[in-house]
């Protein structure tokens, strides 16, 4: 590709080398793994795979089992020996590549993160009124309102909001919001999490239930291949907010 660069391959090589250089030189400059994957991997991985496939294609040439066997009885000329050696190298590298991919995938393909989590959320959902409003009191950057709230909204049909800074919410505005939702017939739950902030209510609230959800995931580490399993535990207290008229 490099020696035969032309207009059709120049952009491919330029983009591939640029992203690969940044990715391989100092990928840890960005500490958030998802952003690394989003910015670099769509260019780096295809570039490396296509380049490797092109190299193997050049080595294998017109290789086939039939021509390989037929040429074994041919005269061993110098060019033919070089070609056969090149094809043999291509076969070995292809097998090594496939074996390496299979070896590196050990423990990743068989692992399913959060196995059984949906069934546990189903049990939690069974305790809630259909189409409820769920307010997660959670100040974590990515917390229960995001992890548990997403399936509770998209699968079970609840309205879900995460209150990051409850102490900054104006009481009058919040009370009007709750009143409008109660008037629409929604049951409102306030969910206190361990990372939640302080919030005082004008409407009465009462403890409805508590929950503890456990789930197993692969360790979240980017310095080496993840191998160990870790347990995620989500706990909280669910309070029901009573309409002021009651």
**Per-residue pLDDT reduced to its tens digit, 221-240:** 767 778 888 999 999 999 99
Q: What is the pLDDT of residues 50-70, one digit of tens each?
A: 888 888 887 777 555 555 455
d(C-alpha 73, C-alpha 68), whole Å: 10
- Reported in sequence order, the residue ranges of the chain that DSSP labels E, i.e. its strands, are 133-137, 159-163, 188-192, 205-218, 229-241
110 bridge partner residues: none
pLDDT (tens digit per residue) in 113-165: 888 899 999 999 999 999 999 999 998 888 999 999 999 999 999 999 999 88
Tell me how far CA of residue 39 lies from CA of 22, 32, 33, in angstroms: 11, 11, 10
What is residue 5's predicted lDDT score, i.e. its pLDDT?
58
- Whether the pLDDT of residue 25 is over 50: the answer is yes
Cβ atoms 213, 234 nearer than 8 A: yes
Instruction: Identify the bridge partners of residue 233 per DSSP, sorted by sequence position.
Output: 214
Reported confidence tier of residue 80, pLDDT bands at 50, 70, 90 = low
């Amino acid at each position: 590709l490099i020696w035969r660069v032309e207009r059709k391959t120049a952009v491919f090589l330029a983009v591939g080398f640029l992203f690969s250089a940044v990715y391989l030189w100092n990928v840890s400059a960005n500490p958030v793994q998802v952003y690394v994957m989003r910015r670099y991997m769509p260019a780096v991985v295809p570039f490396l795979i296509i380049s490797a496939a092109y190299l193997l294609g050049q080595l294998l040439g017109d290789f086939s089992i039939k021509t390989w066997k037929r040429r074994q009885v041919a005269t061993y000329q110098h060019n033919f020996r070089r070609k056969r050696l090149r094809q043999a190298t291509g076969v070995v590298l292809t097998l090594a590549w496939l074996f390496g991919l299979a070896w590196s995938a050990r423990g990743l393909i068989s692992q399913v993160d959060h196995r059984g989590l949906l069934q546990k959320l189903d049990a939690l959902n069974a305790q809630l009124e259909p189409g409820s409003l769920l307010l997660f009191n959670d100040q974590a950057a990515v917390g229960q309102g995001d992890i548990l709230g997403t399936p509770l909204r998209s699968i079970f049909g609840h309205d879900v909001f995460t209150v990051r800074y409850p102490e900054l919410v104006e009481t009058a505005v919040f009370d009007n919001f709750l009143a409008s939702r109660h008037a629409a017939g929604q049951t409102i739950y306030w969910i206190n999490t361990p990372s939640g902030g302080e919030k005082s209510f004008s409407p009465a609230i009462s403890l409805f239930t508590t929950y503890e959800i456990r789930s197993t995931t692969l360790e979240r580490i980017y310095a080496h291949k993840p191998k160990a399993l870790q347990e995620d535990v989500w706990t909280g207290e669910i309070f029901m907010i009573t309409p002021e008229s009651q």
